[in-house]
Amino acid sequence: MRMGWIACFLLGCSLAWASVLSAQEANGALRGSVQDADFYVPIPAVSIQLEGTGYTTQTDDSGNFFINDLKPGQYTVLASAGGYIRERRADVVVSSGSVAEVSLGLTAEIVELDEFVVSSEELVDTNSTAAALTLRSEMKSFTDVLGAKFIAQTGASDASKLLAKTTGVNVADGKFVVVRGLNDRYNVVNLNSLRVPSSDPDRRAVALDLFPSAVIEDIRTSKTFVPDLNGESTGGTINIITKAVPDEDFVKFKAGTGYNTQSTGNDKFLSYKGGGTGMFGTADSRKLPDFIKGSSLPAMDGASRPDSPDRMFRQRVNNSLSPVMGTQEVSAPVDFTLEASMGHRGEFMGAPAGVTVALDYSKKYVYSDDDLVGRYQFDPSTGEVQVLKRLSTIRSGQETMRAGLLVAAGIEPDEDDEIVFTYFFNRIAEDRATLQEGLLDINQFAATDRDYRESLAYTERELKVWQLAGKHKSDINGKNLDVNWAVAYNQSSQLEPDHRFVRGILDLSNPVPNANGVVGIYRPVPGNPTVPEFQRLWRELHDENYSARLDVASDMFEGVDGEKVRVKFGGLLDYSDREYRADSFVYNRGAQNNEFPSLAKPGFPGATWGDVFLIGNQPVGVDLDGIPNNAPFNSVNQFNYLYRANGVEFYNASQMIAAGYAALEFDLGPSLNITLGGRVESTDIKIQSSPIYQYPDEFLRFALLSDIDRLGPDDTMRQLVNAAFNGDVAAQNDPRILARSRASIQEQHFLPAMSVNWDMTETMRVRSAISRTVARPSFKEMAPVVFLNVESGDLFVGNVDLEMSTIMNYDVRWEWFPSAGSLIGVSFFAKQIDKPIELSQESGTSGDVVRYVNTEKGSVYGLELEFQRDLSFITDELKHFAIGANYSYIQSQATRPEFVTTGTDSNGNPLTVPSLFGRSRRLQGQPDYIFNFNLTYDNPEFPLSYGAFLNVTGPQLYAVGGRPEDPDVFQEPFTTLDLGVTYRMTKNSRVSLRAQNVLNAELTRYYNNQGKPTYSTRKTGIGFSLSMTVDW
């Protein structure tokens, strides 16, 4: 309601503003075209100036330009471009309320570029490479632009795959952006210049696979902070511009299918009965019934009678849930995708208006049968492997569904005013089935024992965005005044309903198969493992975000020597709140362990071990396969029932960011431009969670304590937590316990920024910048809640002691645009980070404990090289070939303490041990280098076009060792190669064939000690896709 009133108020102000402007004296406009005087072809990226007025623009790909809002009178037009003789046209008359026309011819060598028919007034259309580079050259920050043509050439399905081809950018886990080696927390993702909330419970980052390429107009990556950007723009700001109001009517349809060498048609693809994503997701059918959600469900009394109310309630619980707990093999279908979009340009209430609608839908299947995961215990004195805890081979099958909708509607009340409403919806559903089998600790298990795990995990992510934005320009006494505003309401969620997990020991000591041909028998895991044997989880996260921003720019002021001074100021309010809840249940094992004797019973060979376990879920007298069975179920030991593993886990969190900024942009001479300003940003984060003492497992309770309280010899806090768990009210209300169940940050920062742009020549520029930025921890990183990854056995633990980071940024870039569509660039950058936030991985008995921590100091510095142009400079016969290459060399360093504090002695003195791995290391998430190369062929007179796209990401530190003996986890270099060919059948239709991940490289992570033992490996196969696009 609150944001609705704000939107209505701003909309009313915008319309009032427009009505005032329309009452002013009507100005005129100038439309023109520039072509080669000898060969009569249009010339793009020609600089157009109206001498003596300050008006400048550039021609688009069709050689056209348009200058709006000109006072009536005579003008002199100057056209200039690299390699051409300047053309000056005097006495061009612009009349009130009309559009003047002018045609110019430049004499020069031949420069032919692909023709795109566009109509643009104020914004440069980024459909072509040349226009995208033009937009980049005009921006004051260090910006890379991916235009619509490049997006189409790559065939990338979403924003994450597009950004992987940008200079200095790589993508982690297939969806989270890393800019210049700085991971997601140091980067901001905007949708149409407004921040988008994260729907991932474990990261601050926005998952970029939520944004399909079908709705993207262009992507702008700003790698330097300027005052009108978010204060977290340390690595960069990714601004995804969606398709907006069209210049003309259009309809576009695309249908495609895909094949994966590991997945498609493979009858070993893992799924399960009742699995899959359905048409638009199946979260509703998997949700936890309310009568279970509201029940405490404690463990049962062993003497419970069959007819007791509690026993009957447990039977109702069992019967309300799917009995399936294990995987099954099926045949994977082909991938497919559908995209449709349309736009209409017309009038609304007498003003130009338009609407764009875009839809996309896809299904994808990925299977892997040879992945590895390894966990170890390390020697405290050497850091080498002391005990192999687990080394398992993983088979997995994943089905992914994506559905999206974009609606953009706008009106132009006046030639210089625009109001646009944008609605964006996207849902991604992933259903993943995994089966693991591997070696175990030989000190605890026999050599013939194997660790056996099955997991059924469904995840549904959703993002909804409502945006209302306005742009207004006016002329006051010959001075420009620009006012831009925007308001937004966003909803994001991540649902993980009914994640099912089974774990046991597979005993292979008897090589003789049973009646169903299965070798081995199953035994329970001894003791009380941290990862329960039969577990079901329901997790849900809901975010709401309200934001509003205002940006005002004017050149009403002049310097002491009469030079133009542009003033910018504005502000931002951004409020987010989150609700997180997790319900964790386990099944009893029963004293007789009746679920373990064999994999399947005779007569039902299709059952899996996970299915057989749930025989007790069937009504009394009915076997798993539905055949009547008179076996009695009259004791708890023969009855599998569900009970809560611990209390409801939750946290409620809020974040308010309020910011204001001001900046001055002025010229010192004809070629030197300076921007100087600052931003004041306040942060208020509050988190309240469930009690830390509620976990029955002592290991989990202690995991939420500080390092000293958890690992040190002083066990006061450990005893206090255990007392609280056992019902001691005084302990439960102890301030020290309560303090570990909440977290907060209240800080204010002044973030200055200065940039200098020097135009060495008309085509060569040097930019430099210095600024201060911040980095914030995410809600989940701070929330004192344990997140159990049942597949790996790892525990993600929130850290209430996390602090914000501050960063000093230094940048220098040299750019040369030798011709239209060409670029050569060299950049240097350095960043000094105070209290960087990094992922820490600590080895444990069942799995690793993962948490984020603050390191004392960190630094990043690097070099970026860029080259992009066609090959006509070699020979004119290669003019339709173009290459693009960029290389980033990145070095980082974080301070590692010489001695690590492990606790205090009886006198309160700190106990320390020396670090085994030196005084310094790299920053977490920083690749040593990133290399991108693309080669394309596109000839308008030839129906075939080709493209090859190579990405190489160097080695990087994946996770920091958490304890003195724990080595860091590194990721090996990773290379991908994508190929594509498009055949233009007619003017309005084309067919595309693409091959992705052609090298099928293995993603390998390892512990960085002498033996380099495996942490994990993964391969996803080679993908092929065939699509047809038709547009009108």
Query: What band does 41 get if pLDDT is binned at 50, 70 and 90?
Result: low
pLDDT for 12 beyond 50: no
Residue by residue, what is the 3-state secondary structure of 926-994?
CECEEEEEEEEEECCCCCEEEEEEEEEECCEEEEEECCCCCCCEEECCEEEEEEEEEEEEECCEEEEEE
Q: Return the pLDDT at 267.
A: 92
Three-state DSSP class for residue 1005: strand
pLDDT for 576 beyond 50: yes
Residues linked to residue 494 through DSSP beta bridges, in sequence order? 461, 541
201 Cα distance to chain centroid: 12
Query: 116-125, 786-795, 1022-1031: which range is least confident on average?
Result: 116-125
Cα distance between the two ends of the chain: 41
The size of the chain, in residues, is 1032
DSSP letter for each residue of 453-500? EEEEEEEEEEEEEEEEEEEEEEEETTEEEEEEEEEEEEEEEEEEEEEE
Which one, of 493, 580, 567, lies nearest residue 782 by Cα? 580
Tokens of 419: 């109001």
Q: State how far the Cα of 500 lies from the Cα of 606, in Å rounded to an integer.
A: 19
Query: What band does 203 get if pLDDT is binned at 50, 70 and 90?
Result: low
Mention every residue, 6+ apart, whose C-beta is less than 8 A from residue 282.
276, 429, 431, 458, 460
Residue by residue, what is the 3-state secondary structure of 370-396?
EEEEEEEEECCCCCCEEEEEEEEEEEE
Q: Return the pLDDT at 300.
A: 65
Residues linked to residue 177 through DSSP beta bridges, in sequence order? 171
pLDDT for 224 beyond 50: yes
Tokens of 741: 């169940």
Query: What band does 531 get if pLDDT is binned at 50, 70 and 90?
Result: low
401 Cα distance to chain centroid: 17
335 Cα distance to chain centroid: 23
Tell me what the mean pLDDT of segment 427-456 comes to.
Answer: 89
Query: What band does 970 get if pLDDT is binned at 50, 70 and 90?
Result: very high
Q: Where are the domains of the chain?
A: 335-586+647-704+740-1031
Question: What pLDDT digit, counting tens, does each position of 145-179 carry?
Answer: 666 656 666 556 566 666 655 655 656 655 566 67
Name the most confidently modeled range: 393-402, 815-824, 937-946: 393-402
Q: Return the pLDDT at 910.
A: 57
**Element (DSSP H or E) covering residue 438:** strand 417-440
Three-state DSSP class for residue 564: strand
pLDDT for 598 beyond 90: no
Tell me what the mean pLDDT of segment 791-800 comes to.
Answer: 80
DSSP letter for each residue of 828-885? EEEEEEES-EEEEEE--SSS-EEEEEE-SEEEEEEEEEEEEEESTTT-GGGTTEEEEE
Q: Return the pLDDT at 110.
A: 35
Task: Please give the C-alpha separations between residue 594 and each of 235, 524, 588, 612, 636, in angstroms, as whole numbers.
Answer: 56, 10, 11, 10, 11
Tell me what the mean pLDDT of segment 381-406 comes to.
Answer: 87
Query: 133-137, 424-428, 526-530: which range is least confident on average?
Result: 133-137
Are 603 and 627 a contacting pair, CB within 8 Å?
yes
Query: 30-39, 359-368, 437-446: which range is least confident on average?
Result: 30-39
Task: Please give the C-alpha separations between residue 121 and each of 32, 247, 351, 769, 965, in angstroms, as whole numbers.
Answer: 12, 10, 16, 30, 62
Q: Is 329 exposed, middle or buried (0-12, 13-18, 19+ CB in 10 A)?
A: middle
Query: 182-186, 862-866, 941-945: which range is least confident on average?
Result: 182-186
Q: Return the pLDDT at 138.
A: 46
Tokens of 56: 């400048």
Task: Please give the C-alpha separations between residue 562 and each of 70, 553, 556, 673, 675, in angstroms, as whole numbers.
Answer: 22, 18, 11, 15, 17
Reported pTM: 0.76
Are 795 and 700 a contacting pair, CB within 8 Å?
yes
Three-state DSSP class for residue 736: helix
DSSP letter for each residue of 614-644? GGGGSPTTB-TTS-B------SGGG---EEE
Tokens of 66: 């348009």
What is the architecture, at CATH level 2, of domain 335-586+647-704+740-1031? Beta Barrel (2.40)
Mention every residue, 6+ apart, whose C-beta is less than 8 A from residue 1007.
376, 378, 385, 967, 968, 969, 970, 1013, 1015
Question: What pLDDT digit, counting tens, does each position of 615-635 carry?
Answer: 444 443 334 444 444 443 333
Q: Return the pLDDT at 485.
A: 94
- Side chain identity at residue 637, one-letter code: N
Are 219 and 237 a contacting pair, CB within 8 Å?
no
Q: State how far the Cα of 118 lies from the Cα of 125, in Å rounded to an integer.
A: 8
Share of residues in the chain with pLDDT > 90 (%) = 27
Relative to beta strand 849-854, strand 795-797 is parallel
Of the two residues 499 and 845, the one the predictor is more confident about is 499
Q: Return the pLDDT at 1026.
A: 94
Three-state DSSP class for residue 296: coil
Question: What pLDDT digit, counting tens, does each position of 75-128 carry?
Answer: 888 888 866 777 878 778 887 766 788 888 786 543 332 322 222 333 333 344
Count of C-beta atoms within a 10 Å radius of residue 603: 12
Q: Return the pLDDT at 50.
A: 84
pLDDT for 636 beyond 50: no
Q: Return the pLDDT at 706.
A: 83
Are 131 and 120 a contacting pair, CB within 8 Å?
no
Mention every residue, 6+ apart, whose C-beta is less than 8 A from residue 126.
132, 135, 145, 147, 148, 217, 218
CA torsion, points 553, 558, 559, 561, in degrees to nearest 10? 150
Q: State how far the Cα of 646 lies from the Cα of 696, in Å rounded to an integer.
A: 6
- Side chain identity at residue 486, one-letter code: A
Tell me what the mean pLDDT of segment 396-411 comes to.
Answer: 92
Relative to beta strand 236-242, strand 187-191 is parallel
Query: 26-30, 159-163, 327-331, 962-966: which range is least confident on average?
Result: 159-163
Q: Is 421 exposed, middle or buried (0-12, 13-18, 19+ CB in 10 A)?
A: middle
Query: What band does 851 get if pLDDT is binned at 50, 70 and 90?
Result: confident
Query: What band does 903 get if pLDDT is binned at 50, 70 and 90?
Result: low
Of the two residues 921 and 988, the one the predictor is more confident about is 988
**Element (DSSP H or E) covering residue 807:** strand 805-816
Are 351 and 411 a contacting pair, CB within 8 Å?
yes
Task: Please give the C-alpha separations between residue 462 and each of 244, 344, 708, in angstroms, as whole numbers.
Answer: 22, 28, 39
